[in-house]
A and B are shown apart, each in its own frame.
Chain A
């Protein structure tokens, strides 16, 4: 069982959260002309690193806020959680 510190609510059990995937993926800028390749890469390609991974979580059974977490994908140690606007 993971214990995740929601930046808004504090430490809660994993059961309250839903996973949102890699937070380092950047959506191409709105209204900017981009190639199909750039768009497909954004939609489908992931680094999927072993080790430190910046990812999105949703406190779906709590405050319903999205936030970022830096977690080790091999040990599940959570180093830091932060609001979506914050950078690591």
Chain B
């Protein structure tokens, strides 16, 4: 594989950029693989990368119905964080933060990880108490957390609404200074390029149409480009999980819902951090191009549409304007939607299933992007060793039957507005 560096850039600049190799190949599917991963998004690509790198399993295919990175990994608001209270979530996501910090070097691809800090605003004394508790829990798990008072928040984001007679006055906030953003497409391309170089077949425009299950064991997958034999299959298909589960006669604790995001026209630098509104569901950061990147609530009803509806967007942006009044002056540049695999307790599932050789990775709700490396790492471990790692032990499928729910926020498939 050609290494990217300032020297390769200069060298290729002199020959008119004709010397660049393709970043990943376009192979025809073989008839048999050791492992098949379904879903060429961030989690799937991270999984095949860590299967090859950590477990030396390279006879692997990753199958994608569309093109890699065309789903939620290309549709999110790029936020990377680990500000969780529950131990299982905190340990998992902080493990991920360490992978994020080193990702550009490891993948030899600039994923533009920018640890600019995330601030969750508080709008009441009670909310300050809750944030203080969460911050303390984070620090016990080795995650940086700072409780900010009103004056400290005002220094960082002076353009927020600090006037006297507002409906939701800012009392302070909880900050995770090491959180931030990363370039989502870069993550896809970085993982894809490295996985391809280690021998993984990235097969795009190939739809899975069925499964071959014999005596409770997975024997292969049927695709639009022919049948593939394999003893291990991993599902990383986010909002399409329920569709594939039905082909396997499985019913899951998941509903597919639509989440929208949008960007404004680009403006000069004004917002240095990721900021979330505490009295509703709205988050905002500024991209390197200057656009305000914003998102919030689900559309509120089961949806596979991959495009949003106006009432929710209006509601979300009303919250945004309550927080940052200057947003009302900006024109909207783009809005889009992605379909989320909303689990019933708001936490993901990375586990084995009752079918031998079938592994499940789903239920990412609002937080799939930031989990990309940790999800891939633990899922690869689960597949390679046929048992869950301690980092994803809390993300079991049967917790909905044993009662060990991970209800970080008590959100589930419900929206704040319904």
Chain A interface residues toward B at CB < 8 A: 1-2, 14-15, 18-19, 21-22, 36-37, 40-41, 43-50, 53, 55, 71, 73-76
Whether B311 contacts A19 by the Cβ 8 Å rule is: no
Q: Which residues of B401-418 have CB atoms within 8 Å of chain A's CB atoms? A: 401, 413, 418
Chain B residue contacts of A1, Cβ below 8 A: 309-311
Whether B303 contacts A44 by the Cβ 8 Å rule is: no
Given contacts A45-B251, A49-B242, contact A22 B302 (CB under 8 A): yes
Which residue of chain B lies nearest to A75 when distances are taken between CB atoms in the complex?
Answer: B305
Whether B305 contacts A14 by the Cβ 8 Å rule is: no
Chain A residue contacts of B400, Cβ below 8 A: 40, 43-45
Which residue of chain A lies nearest to B301 when distances are taken between CB atoms in the complex?
Answer: A19
- 22 interchain pairs, CB-CB under 8 A: A1-B311, A14-B309, A15-B311, A18-B300, A19-B300, A21-B255, A21-B413, A22-B255, A36-B401, A40-B401, A43-B400, A45-B400, A46-B255, A47-B251, A48-B254, A48-B255, A48-B256, A49-B242, A55-B302, A73-B302, A74-B303, A76-B309
Whether B253 contacts A50 by the Cβ 8 Å rule is: no
In the complex, A36 Cα to B311 Cα: how many Å? 39
Q: Does B246 contact A (CB under 8 A)?
A: yes
Given contacts A19-B301, A41-B251, A73-B303, contact A48 B242 (CB under 8 A): yes
Q: Does B284 contact A (CB under 8 A)?
A: no
Chain B nearest Cβ from A24, distance in angstroms = 12
Whether B311 contacts A47 by the Cβ 8 Å rule is: no
Prevailing SS type, chain A contact patch: mixed
Chain A residue contacts of B310, Cβ below 8 A: 1
Chain A residue contacts of B303, Cβ below 8 A: 73-74, 76
In the complex, A55 Cα to B57 Cα: how many Å? 44
Chain B nearest Cβ from A66, distance in angstroms = 13
Whether A19 contacts B418 by the Cβ 8 Å rule is: yes
Chain B residue contacts of A37, Cβ below 8 A: 401
Whether A46 contacts B401 by the Cβ 8 Å rule is: no
Interface string of B243-256 (1 = CB under 8 A from A): 10010000111111
Chain A residue contacts of B301, Cβ below 8 A: 19, 55, 71
Chain B residue contacts of A21, Cβ below 8 A: 255, 302, 413
Given contacts A2-B309, A14-B309, A73-B303, contact A49 B246 (CB under 8 A): yes
Which residue of chain A lies nearest to B405 when distances are taken between CB atoms in the complex?
Answer: A44
In the complex, A43 Cα to B344 Cα: how many Å? 9
